[in-house]
Structure formats: structure tokens, C-alpha cells
Amino acid sequence: MSTRRRFIKQSIIGAASVGAIGQLSAKTKRVAPLRPIVISTWDFGVAANRAAWEILGKGGNSLDAVERGVMVPEADLSNTTVGKGGYPDRDGHVTLDACIMDSEGNCGAVAAMEHIAHPIQVARLVMEKTPHVMLVGEGALQFALENGFERDNLLTAESEKAWKEWLKEKKYAPVMNIENASFNKERLPGNKYNHDTIGMLALDQAGNLSGACTTSGMAFKMHGRVGDSPIIGAGLYVDNEIGGATSTGVGEEVIRTVGSFLVVELMRQGYSPREACREAVERIVKKKPDIAKDIQVGFLALNKNGEYGSFALQEGFTFAVCEERDQERIVQGEHYY
């Protein structure tokens, strides 16, 4: 195993177009099954993957790895889109959504939960200690407190300041999480609140897949709004026979198409991870073309062989890959528009 630190900001297709498909799939697919491997959404996935690798690299299981991995952005106060420090809803409440799924089809989720810094841990506890899959709002908080989690104030001074700034105009237009400033400037002037979720998929040494997804949801959303991220089948899905998928972006469109489940089912039919993600993106475009052109949704998938791929609506989606200690890559996803 190499100890040399390698960190490559890899832009596979530059100004990607749908026509450049072969190029990407050739570079993101692996021929021989290789594991362990962990992949996760956006640039902040690098630090999360590193934490997951601490477990995977020692032969640990993928469930522990994804839980530990996504706890990194949850704990990062400078990250305004996941965990403590996330932007609040329009009434000033930081409400968090998370879910987790293991290789045996077990899953747990919390939605619209306040005051608990690590929703992914609560989601895992829902999975392991209750006969249910999802707890929401007050009930989720009550369950967390009863199980020893500490009540915390999740609203940081920085997020409160951004919210107060937003209150001046109160323009409720939670449209884009795209990390492409020029796109935002041209097409969505005034939209300065990028919004990104972490979705993570891991295949461990034993060949078992797990996934986790956690977010503070859209900035300044309506109180009580829940997106795709804590919904099994929408924001995350894992089938240990086939593979796993996760999503980021405007959750409403992912829920409408049951996106992550769709990606896994397409892989079952023989699609590569990348082709499956592309088909799911195209489904969104087909269903709601007028909405799709102005929003971001990105899918990320990993199959049982350790092959991975992604596809997004817009330019700017990135994901992080780790398959060896100190070997981290950020991959620029392909996009539809």
C-alpha cells in the first residue's frame, strides 16, 4: 500500500457534454473487482472517505465505515449544509435529515430532527433498536435523548447571520445547489446558498455494501419540509446483490422519481453505475423539463464489483473516491445540460 499522499483534482471531461460518455465510463469503471472502496458526494467527501477508510482499511465493515465517514461533515461547523452549522429553515430552526442502510436490507432514518448533532447515529439506532424505519421531528428527538444523545444548539453564529440576511428579502427560492458560480450568476442571479448533502457508499473487504446520507436540507426551507436524503429509495438505496446509489440536489425531484432505487434497479438490469445514474437524471428531465433545467440533482452509484459512476443535471457535481490509504481523488461528474 502506498504511503505517498496523492490528491488529484481530476476533471475527467472538462466542459462535459452528453457526447463524451464513452470517455467517462472508460475512466470511472474498473474491470477487476477491487475492494474495499468508498465513494461520496462532493469535495467534502474526501475527508469523510478518509475517516471511513480508517475502518475499511483494517477489514472493518461497510456499515461502521459509512456511519463514521459521514460524521465528519456532520461535525464540521464550517459546512453549512450538513449537521451542526447547517443553515436553518425559514423560521430559524436547524432541522436535520439522515438515513443509513446495510447489506442485509436493514435501514433507519430520521427526518426534520432538531438539536442532535449527529443524525446519522440516531438513524442507525432507529435501524438497530426499533421495529421502525423512520422517526421524525419531536419523536426523533425524544428517541435520541432517551438513548443518551446530548441536546445541542445547532445554529452557529455564521448560519444565524446568513439566515438574518436572507430574512431581509425572504425570497423563498431554494433552487440550486450547484457549485458553479458562473452558472448561478448567469441563470440564477441572487442565489448564493449552495446546498450539498453527503451521500456515501462503501464496499468492504468481505464484499458487503452499505450507504449513508445526511443533510440539513435546503437552506431556509419551509419548517417541516423533508427532502429525499432521509428517504430510503430516494436519497439512498443499497441492495447487496447489486449495488448502491445515493443522490444530492433538489430532493423533490428525486422523490418524484424514487431516484436511488431506480439507479439500483437499472444496475440490476445490467446498466453500468454511470449509465444507471444517467438514466435516472433523464427520467427527471422527462418528467419535469421546466423544473429540471434550473435545478441540480446528482446521482452516485457503486456496484458489487467496486465499479462506480455518476451523472448530474448540471455542471459542477463532484464526488470523492478512496480505494487505498492516502489515495484520494475528486472526480468531476458528467452532466446533462
Residues found near ligand SD4 in the complex (CB under 6 A): 177, 195-197, 215, 217-218, 227-229, 248-251
Task: Map 163-224 to HEC letters.
Answer: HHHHHHHCCCCCCCCCCCHHHHHHHCCCCCCCCCCEEEEEECCCCCEEEEEEECCCCCCCCC
Residue whose CB is less far from ligand SD4, 36 or 45: 45
CB of 71 to ligand SD4, least distance (A): 17
All three cell numbers of 241 = 446483490
Q: Assign 11 to helix, strand or coil.
A: coil
List the Cα angle 266/64/107 in 5-degree steps.
50
112: CB partners within 8 A, 6+ apart: 95, 96, 97, 136, 137, 140, 224, 225, 226
Q: Which residue lies nearer to ligand SD4 by CB, 55 or 178?
A: 178
Which of 80, 197, 215, 248 does the annotation list as catalytic? 197
Given the complex with ligand SD4, which of 126 and 254 has the nearer CB atom? Answer: 254
CB of 129 to ligand SD4, least distance (A): 25
Least distance (Å) between residue 200 CB and ligand SD4: 13
Residue 246 appears among annotated catalytic residues? no
Q: Give the residue with the Cβ less far from ligand SD4, 60 or 298.
A: 298
- Yes or no: say if 276 and 267 are a contact pair by the CB < 8 Å rule: yes
**Cis peptide leading into residue 73 (ω within 30°):** no
Point out the residues that are catalytic.
Answer: 197
